[in-house]
Structure 1
Amino acid sequence: MGKGQSKVIAQNRKASHDYFIEETYEAGIVLQGTEIKSIRAGKVNLKDSFARISNGEAYVHNMHISTYEQGNRFNHDPTRARKLLLHQKQIDKLFGETQQAGYALIPLRVYVKNGFAKVLIGVGRGKKKYDKREDLKQKQAKRDIDRAIKDNLH
């Protein structure tokens, strides 16, 4: 990889199904010991993870980074809360946005950029059941159209 490129390690596929993502922010993560080695090995799971602002700092919770196999007794706790590195203005803005009902901070993907682990955080508004059904209908209709076009070409 050249300079400025990033390699996506993990994605939260369910986020776009459960939330309308309105804004995204790139944040660094404060890691301990062997966590970066586990991230580079792709041992990250964003399922059920969320971010929260507390005491003027942003933290990501329930992000599972597996313990490093070649690690020793200094291995990390897989699901500990990890501090996110954001500018204070961004944190203040995110705090204001998440105070509105139905809004949440969702980690969308984890990637390595210039040797540093980064998290893409999205400000999401929760979807209602009928919104999810509508999305599934649209996805199915698009699939049917693509299939019909493909059949007509052959």
Structure 2
Amino acid sequence: MGENVKIIAQNKKARFNYFIEESYECGLELEGTEVKSVKAGNVSFADSFAEIINGEVWMRNFHISEYKFSSVFNHDPDRKKRLLLHKEEIKRLQRKVDEKGFTLVPLDFYLKNGRVKLTLGVCKGKKLYDKRETIKQRDLDRDMARDFRKDLS
């Protein structure tokens, strides 16, 4: 990602449940108190997804809690949020999503140079046997790293 990046949240469940074909960095169109709440880390996007409507990408099921220090105005925590992408990227995403089995899933949520950014993945769902293979590979990697540390000491 680079410098001046503060990761707010990562969607580890998405990395387990999906194969990630491509990823895009995009901005979010947020209201005033949403930005403050995001910087405080009050976000939840475990079951969120993106959809393309009339040439715009919208994030659904993306919860940003109300800002607790706001006295007058507060935002709707569950409103759909527009993602900021170039038109060519949106067209490319539309072609991918039209293929069978692809969906748009948020992967990482972070601040980059003071701006709220999101990594959007073009993903394909894993089958149960794929998930088992992922768990098996992770266990093998962990055992190999443990054996390597023993050899060094």
TM bracket, shorter-chain basis: over 0.9
Percent identical: 49
Determine whether 1:48 maps to 2:66.
no
Corresponding position of 2:80: 81
- TM-score normalised to the size of structure 1? 0.92
Determine whether 1:18 maps to 2:6.
no
Determine whether 1:98 maps to 2:100.
no
CA RMSD of aligned residues (A): 1.6
Counterpart-to-counterpart distance in 2, 1:128 and 1:72:
47
Deviation at 1:141, TM superposition (A): 1.2
SS at match of 1:14: helix
1:7 and 1:111 in contact (8 A); partners too: yes
- TM-score normalised to the size of structure 2? 0.93
Q: Give 1:83's aligned amino acid.
A: R
Q: Give 1:115's aligned amino acid.
A: G
1:27 and 1:118 in contact (8 A); partners too: yes
Aligned length: 152
Counterpart-to-counterpart distance in 2, 1:116 and 1:150:
40
Unaligned regions of 5+ residues in structure 2, if any?
Answer: none
Deviation at 1:117, TM superposition (A): 0.7
Deviations, residues 115-137 of structure 1 (Å, cap 9, x unaligned): 21111101011111111000111
Deviation at 1:153, TM superposition (A): 4.1
Unaligned regions of 5+ residues in structure 1, if any?
Answer: none
CA 1:6–1:153: 2 relative to 1, 3 Å: closer
Corresponding position of 2:70: 71
Deviations, residues 94-130 of structure 1 (Å, cap 9, x unaligned): 0110111111101111111122111110101111111
Deviations, residues 42-63 of structure 1 (Å, cap 9, x unaligned): 1111210111111110011111
SS at match of 1:42: coil
